[in-house]
Amino acid sequence: MTRISTSTLGFPRMGPNRELKFSLEKYWKGEISDIELLNSANEIEKSGWKLQMEASIDRITVGDHYLYDMVLTWSDNLGLCPSRFQHMDAGLKRMFAMARGVDGSEALSMKKWITSNYHYMVPEYDESTVIKPNIELYLNDIKRGIDFLGAQTATPVVLGPVSLVFFTKISHGTDESVLATLLPHYKNLLATIAEMGVAEVQIHEPALVFAEQNISHLLSIAYPAILPKQGPIINLVSFMEDIGEENYQWAISQAEIGIISLDFTRGHTMDLIHKFGFPQDKTLGVGMIDSRNVWTIQPEKVSEVSDFLKAHVVKFRIQPSGSLQYLPWDFSCEKELEGHPASSLLSFAKQKLSEIQMVAQVIAGDMLLLKSHADTWEVFYKSVASGTNQPNKRWTEQDFVRSEPFEKRNEKQGLLGSPLLPTTTIGSFPQTKEIRRLRSQYRSGKITKAVYEAGIDKQIAYAIGIQEALGLDILVHGEAERTDMVEFFAHQMTGLLFTSNGWVQSFGSRCVRPPIIWTDIQRPHPMTVREFTVAQELTEKPVKGMLTGPITILNWSFPRIDISRKEQAFQLALAIRQEVKDLETAGCRVIQVDEPALREGMPLRQHGRESYLQWAVDAFRLATGGAKSETQIHTHMCYCEFKDCMGAIDRMDTDFNSIENSRSDNATLEAFVDIGYNKGFGPGVYDIHSPVIPTVDFMESKIKGFLTCLPVNQLIVNPDCGLKTRTWPETIDSLKNMVEATAKVRAQILASSISPS
Ligand code: MET
Ligand SMILES: [Zn+2]
């Protein structure tokens, strides 16, 4: 059997026990120095290299152990720095200032990374930006990689120039002009790397998958200008989707590109190869090991790709579909899952390395190995009731529709006793040390359930007291009992698994532990009714029931790969639907079902979008459609572009929609106005990520601005998102100003000094 070679495209950066998170947080507090931070990061990187070496991976990436985010590091490497940070010397302090803001200089904005729950920092290029590379640290990292792994194995990663331009917000010049400024520096960089003697360089061009946004002219300008005629083989890397016909044809025609790495887990990569062929003199990087899901590859997929490669491709290698950064580090730490029926099929980053080798061996002809892999799946199937076993008719057409249209519901609901422009918040209040201690003591069995619940109730009472004192109109219980808005619900449903150490980076030092859907989902008991009741008994004002929607739970979990996402979303929706009923029975008049991840799950390409939005919105409607007309259903969404899914948002048919708005220059608000959105609407009046207290004037003018395009009875006043990352003093001061700003606008309306449209 010939051996098939293997490669990786990146490894988790946080470390086996989130070491990087803790080092970063110490560094930001000034407790450790630059050197100490770098030493800690280098140790983590080395342990990742070791695992990959032990798994005999042929090409292992180096220079990609980003301390915060790849796009941020690369913009910093090249000196892409907006004017407000230029007073700082290049280096770690400046890079973190760009990520987190400093001395009143607002941080770069943060966006969700290509259909995932990872976030990147948006680089900015303004009139004062001078491209001035600062790559000493990077070259040092490469050198360490070569010393550790050898020049044949160590494979430097570079973020490609076209992607860097594509992701940059350019306020001075054009894509072409910024690209032209960058190219000489890329050329030098690649020449410098070539001199270091490595066998291969990976140029990551994530922008390639945005095939509908025509970047091929940028590619054609960039690549001839930067690639060295001699030196390491160039591996052009893409992930998250196929790269579309135009980009594919461009890539296969580039003589200087020796390897093309494509995603075989999403999109239609095989169709592209089928249609246009794959050149015999190039190597195909077959990204068939899913870097975004913990489930091990299905045997049918191995056979399908294997047959395809034999028929169409001469030279290829096996690799993950993208960086393994979207996965936790090592499944074997999950002692509590030992012996679980799913455990032999779950693979974290370390296990993915063996999976790569397993697949490579099967494709090289080891059919016994394939058989034993198929047997593992069979054993699993025999031991679980899978989603396909559920009876078909679990819902009827009517279950997706509220019993009356919005106008009728609106009449019945009124403003629930609130005045004009009701004020509210998005759900969570500051997660103090005390709350975190309470939860962790309960988790570890140090305190009883009764003591824990009494502690939570104290927090609820405090939150209600504050809201009453501030004069807010629709109150929340504050979410003190929730570590995370998905984990909290998933924990109480059957069919989902939890890890104790399965952390994945979401942004900066923040990590999440996505649940793993392993079998049918059910909700055996009410999940939120106790806390709601405690809160509602303390006040005459309406308390919002607070739920996470089915699409967000699905998108922030690792779903089963052999059951459709739609089926899994509907199962989650039915569970939420029961909760809505129980909240109503407990006297809840307003229920907010959060869907911040609706947009993020939307496929990149137009043709996939419609069907996704169809079932995603259906799932939301299945979750909420059973609510009585008198029950006001709210939703909340944040930190994404809404413009291209407005129809879907309208179809969700919620009574109110509170959305994040302040970081986007009212663009979101305009998008709602443009489609003639006629339901209740709460565009955020202040940015909750900033420690700055918004002034009364600032919010008063925001609200008045909203009133120039929306009728007053359609508006609700709220911050951008939940307040759990803020402190109580900040929260109180900000909300006090928000209520005061609202009161001023109300008074002006009543005195008719402004006439709402
Ligand atoms: C990311 S959206 C967060 C919504 C949630 N209800 C909260 O207030 O934290
Ligand atoms: Zn939010």
CA distance 62 to 158: 10
CA distance 163 to 166: 5
- Give me the mean pLDDT over the 222-233 stretch: 93
Among 65, 119, 373, 689, the one annotated catalytic: 689
Instruction: Tell me the one-letter amino acid at 663.
Output: R
The residue assigned the tokens 């052999």 is: 562
What is the distance in A from the centroid of ligand 1 to the CA of 14?
Answer: 24
- Give me the mean pLDDT over the 536-550 stretch: 98
Residue 689: active-site member: yes
Task: Choose one of 110, 428, 481, 486 to mutate for the ligand 1 pocket test, by most ligand atoms within 8 angstroms of C-beta.
Answer: 428
- Give me the mean pLDDT over the 131-147 stretch: 96
Residue 659 pLDDT: 92
The answer, yes or no, to whether residue 84 has pLDDT greater than 90, is: yes
Residue 387 pLDDT: 52
Task: Choose one of 663, 721, 725 to mutate for the ligand 1 pocket test, by most ligand atoms within 8 angstroms of C-beta.
Answer: 721
- What is the rounded (10 degree) CA torsion for 55, 60, 64, 69? -50
- Kindly report the average pLDDT of the chain as a whole number: 94
Residue 665 pLDDT: 64
C-alpha closest to that of 312 among 277, 285, 288, 281: 277
Stated length of the chain: 757
DSSP state letter for 88: S
Task: Choose one of 435, 594, 663, 720 to mutate for the ligand 1 pocket test, by most ligand atoms within 8 angstroms of C-beta.
Answer: 594
pTM of the model: 0.93
- What lies within 8 Å, CB to CB, of 111 at 6+ separation is 119, 120, 122, 639, 640
The answer, yes or no, to whether residue 730 has pLDDT greater than 60, is: yes
From residue 686, alpha-carbon distances to 20, 70, 277, 709, 712 in Å are 31, 28, 52, 18, 19
The answer, yes or no, to whether residue 524 has pLDDT greater than 90, is: yes
What percentage of the chain has pLDDT greater than the value 90?
89
The answer, yes or no, to whether residue 393 has pLDDT greater than 70, is: no
Listed residues: CB within 5 A of ion ligand 2: 596, 638, 721
User: Which has more pLDDT, 96 or 690?
Assistant: 96
pLDDT tens-digit map of 502-514: 999 999 999 999 9
- Give me the mean pLDDT over the 303-324 stretch: 98
- Give me the mean pLDDT over the 654-668 stretch: 82
Confidence of residue 228 (pLDDT cuts 50, 70, 90): confident
pLDDT tens-digit map of 193-208: 999 999 999 999 999 9
Ligand 1 atom 9: the closest Cα is on which residue? Answer: 722
Residue 643 pLDDT: 85
What is the distance in A from the centroid of ligand 1 to the CA of 486?
Answer: 10
Lowest mean per-residue pLDDT among 180-194, 230-244, 393-407: 393-407
Ligand 1 atom 3: the closest Cα is on which residue? Answer: 722
Ligand positioned closest to the Cα atom of 660: 2
Contacts by residues 447-456 (CB-CB < 8 Å, ≥ 24 positions apart): 453/530, 456/480, 456/481, 456/531, 456/534
Residue 368 pLDDT: 97
CB 624 within 8 A of CB 654: yes
Ligand 1 atom 8: the closest Cα is on which residue? Answer: 722
Confidence of residue 739 (pLDDT cuts 50, 70, 90): very high
What is the distance in A from the centroid of ligand 2 to the CA of 426?
Answer: 7
The answer, yes or no, to whether residue 415 has pLDDT greater than 80, is: no
CB 620 within 8 A of CB 593: yes
C-alpha closest to that of 721 among 697, 686, 693, 694: 686
Ligand positioned closest to the Cα atom of 547: 1
Pocket of ligand 1, beta carbon within 6 A: 426-428, 485, 546, 594, 596, 636, 638, 721-722, 724
Helix (H, G, I), strand (E, B) or coil at 598: coil
Confidence of residue 418 (pLDDT cuts 50, 70, 90): confident
ipTM of the complex in this document: 0.99
The answer, yes or no, to whether residue 753 has pLDDT greater than 90, is: no
What is the distance in A from the centroid of ligand 2 to the CA of 89?
Answer: 34
CA distance 684 to 715: 11
